[in-house]
Structure 1
Amino acid sequence: MALALAGLLAVGGAGTARGAVPPPPPGWRLQWSDDFTGPDRSLPSAAEWQIDTGHGYPGGPGNWGTGEIQNYTSSPDNLSLDGNGNLRITPLRDGAGNWTSARIETRRADFKAPAGGTLRIEGRIQMPNVTGDAALGYWPAFWALGAPYRGNYWNWPAIGEFDIMENVNGINSVWGVLHCGVNPGGPCNETTGLGASRVCPGASCQSAFHTYRFEWDRSASPNELRWYVDDQLFHSVNQNQVGAGTWADMTDHAGYFLLLNVAIGGAFPDALGGPTPTAATVPGRPMLVDYVAVWTRGGTTGPPDPTDPPPSGSSQLYLRTGGGAGDATASATTVTLASAGGANHDGTPHNPQVFTSGPITRTYDGGSTQFDLLVDAGTSVANGQQVRVSYDRTGDGTWDRTETYHYFATDPTSGYEHYTQARGLQSATGTHGNLTNGKVRVEVWNAIGNGSSTLGTGNQSVVRIPFG
């Protein structure tokens, strides 16, 4: 979603809306999808998506770091399903000239190519149907950001950004861009990024649905990233182009989360149309999203196939109601974290919710524990949730490694917040080593405060252990 400039290539072809997620292509396994089915003016699934609001993340760059001018809202006027199987993101302008629009991102932030395999992210999208002077300032996008960006907001572009579909000013073209390394300059030529663009095949980008696809291929050497529109390849970048260190920074973390938004104004549309928007810019032209889906092919991770041998434990543990942890369940659930009762339980579990996974047999990869827990204290003031992760390397009942992280002070506004490892490690005992029929235990509790809290489970809160 950052500034991206590139040349144009003209080729033909077009697609039509499907109305549902297509079946997996041969050899691919569906990891996640949303076909945006629901009543007109309803919001997208809260279990799958979170809604960004305002002019930036709390503590992050202003104007979302791009210079865009709109205020993102959760109003159905800006963000809703259309009742016909599409997501609708509509920029609007009020009588004072103020713009509003919408931006959503997946709750999951673990989309990653399996070792030795390929990740495929795809969406069928109709860009806002507006062109010429009336489109100046429109900036629709379908993209992905590296998971470590959540809770930090200042580590871009090192953590990686994949712009699967970008467009500005109603131009009949799709841009695909990689952002990486350092800003400005670096191997990805920031803030421009490494990008390419081309005319949409057949019908224009604005007048019809087209399929926009991104692939991250770890099955070939060097690894490669590829961008497609309607199955036609128009851009690629391999790891040799950016260097081993830069590639590792953007790929050796937990994965990526996906975003959909329509911005107004900012560096990219300004670069191709002068200061935008203008008095001629017309509000009310939505981006329509038919579906978004993520598949993987090959490799050593992903949901088990019925013909596969029994797994030896996952390195990605979703917390489950009932005290287990493992692959994500199909739906979002919650558990309650008991009140700290006004006492200080910083560093010491107090009436914790406990989640255990095992047996796990995996090789320590030299990394560190990562987690993304969805927590909400409602309107309670001065509550703080805390997590401790413990490793029993051989399953003998001895916790060989225990890590306690600084607690996360939730705000007194209802709605989930992300508690991640970015809060920092408070204390650790023992050492890591390979897991052989081992166990992992996750304890979550309220360290401070007088109220209870809610922890998202099922397909929401995840702990990623550093084992390949």
Structure 2
Amino acid sequence: MAVLTAVVVALSTASAAPAVAAEPTPVGAGSYTTDQVGPAPEGCAPLATDARAFITDSAPEGAVPTNDWWSSLSFKKFDCSMSEPLHAHPVSYKPSPEGLGLSYTQQPTLYGTPGGIGEFHYPYSEDLVVGVAGLNASVAEVADWSDWTVTPSWSDGARSMTATIGHGLPVTWFEMTGGDARLTGASDLRVWLRDGARIGFSTGGADYVAFAPTGSSWSTSGSVLSSNLSGKGYLSVAVLPTTPDDDDAARTAQADSYTPYAYVEVTGTRADYEYDEATSIVRTTYSFETEAHEGTNAGTIAALYPHQDVYLEGSAGDGPGGGAASDRDYESARGTMNTLIGATSFTTETPFTGVLPEVPAVATAEGEANARLDALLDAEADDPMSIDATDTYWTGKALGRAVRIAEIADQLDRTSVRDTALEQIEATLTDWFTASPGETEQLFAYNENWGTLVGFPAGYGSDKELNDHHFHYGYFIVAAATLARFDPEWATDQEFGGMVDELIADANNFDRTDLRYPYLRDFDIYAGHDWAAGHGAFVNGNNQESSSEGQNFANGLIQWGVATGDDATRDAGIYLYATQTAAIQQYWFDGSGAMPDAFGHSTVGMIWGSGGAYATWFSGEAEMIQGINTLPITGGHLYLGLRPDDVVANYDEMVAANNGGPTVWQDILWSYLALGNGQRALAALDADREYPVEEGESRAHTYHWIANLAGLGTVDPAVTADSPVAAVFTKNGARTYVASNITQSPLTVGFSDGTSLTVPVGKTVTSGAHTWSGGGAASGTDPTDPTDPTDPTDPTDPTDPPVRAATTFYLTADGALATEPGSATTAVLGARSGPDAVGDPSTGLTATLEHVTGEFGGLRTAFDLGVDAEANVGNGTRLRVSYDLSGDGSFDRVESYRYFATDPVPGFERYTSVNQALESSEGTLGDLRDGTIQVEIWNVVGNAPSLVNLEDSVLEVPFGPLTVS
């Protein structure tokens, strides 16, 4: 540890900004700086000046890959000699000075308590170590990599070894010099096959076969196996897909089936994709470059992830090099991995189901719904971005908020609101996309050492750890795509389009010839999804939380490519989007049912290399754990609704885990629910129109999204389009076809069932169950022109908001709710006597209003109470409000608020619905008809009384005008 500590340093000193600022690098009218204006990536000391410090000269040229499953090998963060466990699936690996450890964990380990399981993992549990006798390397380096393999390298001067490992490769290839091959197993090692060059053995609960060159032999000493490899210096070790029920004969039969391919080295891997526009299919071919060291076979053993297997082209063996399907499969953290034997390639055909700039205004374009949405847009008219943003993430969130407002305002011809949003978007992007000499904030800086473009101020480790670039930059790219269709000149290479392309290249460079950035930095080509951590230096491997923000990036590429006529960018976005859609449904939403039964959840907040967690980095709240994989809510996230029943089940799971409906992120979760049941989501929104707004959302967009999905129904993946910016919805058996034209030319969109739509420039058009069209500025017009004659905001614009009535009452000591304060100035709450004990006035205060009639106004309950525990310590006061809407003696809606912890300083404190959110609720609100309102306040913690100030303690109920009979 002392040695490791000595070489781990913070790089703040080494990365100090140069004394003389370099001239910014121009990109069209934009620019980025090459000065180190903020923190550089931090890790073990040599990385400060050389990101390739742990990479050998034989490795590929260009920027070092980060954000991968194997990144802790090269981006050494905590272990400056080796790495953290590398979870490749089905095998996990761990380098050590003596060689490479292998682990095939077949049963999950669950973490938490009964009824509160939070994580499941298939942890690294070492079965054996493969090395060279006497090897004692001080560091493991990277000698090579390809699309989903990596080659660690060891040397101590006298002995050396390399190992090629990768996703889906149950056979590990080794090359050695300087000594005999040495395999050290666990204490339970048992040999069951000894056949010259082959030796089969069980260790650590798994079955392995080591294949030495022909003519070799193996010797055993306890749990150590050795071979001189006939002086040829190569070896392969295969883990077998056997089970504990297999006998040695079955193990041997499995070894026999692998033997013809055991001497085939995988020297490289590559995935090539194409988007078939006519069928809306992404066809991806996964190829293995191989070298046969014995025999003439070219194929290898390939284990497929579920998201690949479900879309595997034809049946195994049909395509060239497809191999034969094995009757055995492997267990993994992602579920069962089916196996191809003798494959040189395989192809998947993954459907792409389309994106939209925004759902169409089929319900909110006219009538009462239009008036309601207009009023909500009025509230956003002056400042659509709203958020006081600084770093790249929160600036992105603010841009995303403005984009949603611009899109729905455009659909409704609210051009003034739209143009204000576009002005803010353009000003913000232009500022960030322009660097000035000596500037240090709101700009992008290229770090040549790491081959990365970092925005400063950075956030969440996007600078020091290269985390989350796809999350942050996706918002910028989506905003640029929206701006591009209204102001195409801004998006040209001569203006700011080149800077958008730089952000795309940093996060997921799809041009293999561009060596300034790694190829597909954030995207794991074989695993099918992004990784968030730059270094991935965790015992559980790399991780990703917000899969939906990863999809926001892919959606941005699609819409930017379509809007600018860049098919390569469009197709890269579609490849990322379709592949991740398949992976997200399988792994975040348990489409294959692979999550352990004892886990108790059908969704996760985070995927780890070794498993999954019902958790986030920032909150333990169920609504945030599940909500983080649904935001931002955009037309690019329709994939979330491909399984409507699962949407409803996931929402109900959240409600159960939360002990009630959401109390934060209601807008996000209701919008997600709308993809499964729009009417239910709309009812929840109507019952609580004054919910707290998530930072990247607006009330206008939430209402627009939910109300229109309630009309459209659910996404229909059975029908696809020959345009990527189109979708189909179904409700009660009737389909609505939707297509948006974000190009500068008229467009005809064909759907797979023969339906077609002609879509003018800038318009969104629907047909079928709903016929509607809206939106669009003419090609080449300036959307910010104040003389735009189409702006309808004068004087016919419906700016008066609908009436949303509420009535305020005071609490009184005699148990009544009154419109004026009563004669008593205070009430006493007794010491805690139980969590739900209100009791008599000496214990708690109950105030009731009966025989009351009034219209539900769509707001939410609000309160502002003065509470004082005087000098008493540890008291906590709770409020509960109950509504019996019909006066039948049973409460239709019960709201319990989080308790308020009072301080021991005399003087009343404010217990409000703002500082203490709703903790749980049951039922829904509606009109009061001879009903009852009941308010209860009592101490739920503490052993002393508290006072309530009755002079200014008020309750606002969402009804009015009220009459009492």
Relative to the length of structure 2, the TM-score reads 0.21
Between 1 and 2, higher relative CO (CA 8 Å, sep ≥ 6) is seen in: 1
Instruction: Report the structure, 1 or 2, having the larger helix content.
Output: 2
Relative to the length of structure 1, the TM-score reads 0.36
Which has the larger Rg? 2
